[in-house]
A = this chain, B = another copy of it.
Amino acid sequence: MGAVGESVTLAVDMMSGDQTLATRLKACRHFAATNENVTLLLVGDEATLREGLRRRADDWQVIHAPDVVAMDEHPAKALRHKSDSSLHKALELVRDGQAQACISAGNTGALLAVSRHILGTVSPAIKRPAFIAPLPAEGGGTWMLDLGANLEVSAEQLLQFAQMGSVVATKADEPPPRIGLLNVGSESMKGSKIVQNAAKLLEQSGLNYVGFVEGHDIFTGKVDVVVCDGITGNVALKSAEGAGALFLKKLSEALDKGMFTKIALLAARRALKAAAQEIDPRQFNGASFVGLNGVVIKSHGAADSLAFEVALGYAAKEARAGVPEAIRQLMGES
C-alpha cells in the first residue's frame, strides 16, 4: 500500500461482480486513502452509488451508467444490448483517454468481448489478447499467461503471449525476464505439435527463452513468465488454489486435533497465518487482459475488499508502466 507514482486515473466498474457494492466501495475508499496521485472514477448507477457513499458522496467522481451486465449474461448479448452498462462506460473512459485503466469484477466472457470491441488490440500484429497474472513463487512471483481468454491457441499465439509476458515482467535495470513454455515434460521431444512449434519460434524470438517447464515450475521461481494456452493456464491456476486451500484446511484440522498447549497452538497459528498470507490468492487478485489498446484488469468476481483493492493497485501499476504502449513497440519491431 501507499505506492506513489505519476498521476493516474482508474475507471472502476462498481456494479458488476458477485460481491456487494459495499465491498467494492470499501476497497475504493481504503485505496484512495492510502495511495497518492490516483483518481478513481466510480462507474455505475448514480443514485445507487451516491446512496452507498452517503455523506461523503461529494468527494467522489461518479460516472452514471444505468445498466449492468449480469454474471450469467451471454457475451454477445452483453456486447450488443448493454451499451449503457457500467462495463461499457468504464471501458469507454479508457478509450477516450479520461482514464488510464479499467477494473471490473464482472462476467469474464462479457469483459473479453466488450473490451476487445471498445478498445481493440494495441497493434494489428496481435492475434488475440490474453489474461496474465502474477502467481506466488519462491523468490517473489511468476507471471503466467494465458489464464483463460483463449481456449485454443496456435504456435504463433503462444509466441505472442511470450512477447507480451516479457513486456509485463520486465524490470528496469534487471536482465530480460526468463520465459518458460508450459509442457508435460521438460525434455525437448515432449508435448503437442503446437507446443513443439512454439518452442522453435521462441528459440528464434530474441526473448530470454529457457525452454519447457512443468506445472510445479510455476512456483519454484525457475522462470519469470510461464506461457501456455488458456485452458491449461486456467486449470493450473485453480488447481494450485485448490491444493493450497486443502493444505490449509488439513493443517488447521491437525492443530485442532493435536494435544498442544495454548501457547504452542498460538505460535503455530501465527506462523500458519504468516505463511498463508504470503501465498494468499487475494494478494494476487486481478488478471490483466494484455494486448488491448488500454489497461483492463479483471478482478475475481467474488473478491473481498482486500482482494479488490489489490486489483486496483495492479491497475495503477500497469497504467504507470505503460504496458500497452510497450507491447505496441515490441510488436512493431518483431
Tell which of B138, B214, B217, B246 touches A249, judged by Cβ atoms closer than 8 Å. B138
Q: Contacts A72-B187, A240-B240; is A235 near B182 (CB within 8 Å)?
A: yes
Q: How many of chain A's residues have a CB under 8 angstroms from any CB in B?
A: 66
Whether A235 pairs with B236 at a CB distance below 8 angstroms is: yes
Whether A238 pairs with B250 at a CB distance below 8 angstroms is: no
Question: Which chain B positions have C-beta within 8 A of A230?
Answer: 184
User: Considering the complex, which residues of chain A in the window 215-272 have a beta carbon less than 8 Å from any beta carbon of chain B?
Assistant: 215-220, 228, 230-232, 234-251, 253-255, 257-258, 260-261, 263-268, 270-272
One of A115-123, A156-164, A273-281, A289-297 at the interface? A273-281
Q: Distance in Å from the Cβ of A62 to the closest Cβ of chain B?
A: 32
Question: Which chain B positions have C-beta within 8 A of A249?
Answer: 138
Question: Which chain B positions have C-beta within 8 A of A66?
Answer: none
Task: Pick the most buried of A187, A243, A249: most chain B CB atoms within 10 A of its CB.
Answer: A243
Q: Distance in Å from the Cβ of A279 to the closest Cβ of chain B?
A: 6
Q: Distance in Å from the Cβ of A149 to the closest Cβ of chain B?
A: 10
Tell which of B138, B187, B253 touches A246, judged by Cβ atoms closer than 8 Å. B138
Question: Which chain B positions have C-beta within 8 A of A257?
Answer: 274
Whether B258 pairs with A271 at a CB distance below 8 angstroms is: yes
Q: Does A192 have its Cβ within 8 Å of any Cβ on chain B?
A: yes
A-B contact pairs, 16 of them (CB 8 A): A138-B246, A214-B238, A215-B235, A215-B238, A216-B239, A216-B242, A219-B242, A232-B232, A244-B247, A250-B278, A251-B272, A253-B275, A254-B271, A255-B268, A261-B263, A264-B267
A152 CA / B247 CA spacing, docked (Å):
31
Q: Distance in Å from the Cβ of A147 to the closest Cβ of chain B?
A: 9
A136 CA / B236 CA spacing, docked (Å):
16
Q: Is chain A's interface secondary structure helix, strand, loop, or mixed overall?
A: helix
Whether B251 pairs with A234 at a CB distance below 8 angstroms is: no
Question: Which chain B positions have C-beta within 8 A of A264?
Answer: 261, 263-264, 266-268
Whether B236 pairs with A219 at a CB distance below 8 angstroms is: no
12 more A-B contacts (CB under 8 A) besides A253-B275, A263-B264? A151-B191, A215-B238, A216-B245, A220-B242, A231-B232, A232-B235, A243-B244, A250-B275, A250-B278, A251-B251, A258-B270, A260-B271
Question: Which chain B positions have C-beta within 8 A of A279?
Answer: 243, 246-247, 250
Task: Pick the most buried of A228, A241, A275: most chain B CB atoms within 10 A of its CB.
Answer: A275
Question: Which chain B positions have C-beta within 8 A of A189?
Answer: 74
Question: Which chain B positions have C-beta within 8 A of A246?
Answer: 136-138, 219-220, 279
User: Residue on B with the closest CB to A256?
Assistant: B271
User: Residue on B with the closest CB to A189?
Assistant: B74
Whether A236 pairs with B253 at a CB distance below 8 angstroms is: no
Q: Distance in Å from the Cβ of A254 to the closest Cβ of chain B?
A: 4
A244 CA / B247 CA spacing, docked (Å):
7
Q: Does A148 have its Cβ within 8 Å of any Cβ on chain B?
A: yes
A218 CA / B255 CA spacing, docked (Å):
24
Task: Pick the most buried of A136, A182, A215, A276: most chain B CB atoms within 10 A of its CB.
Answer: A215
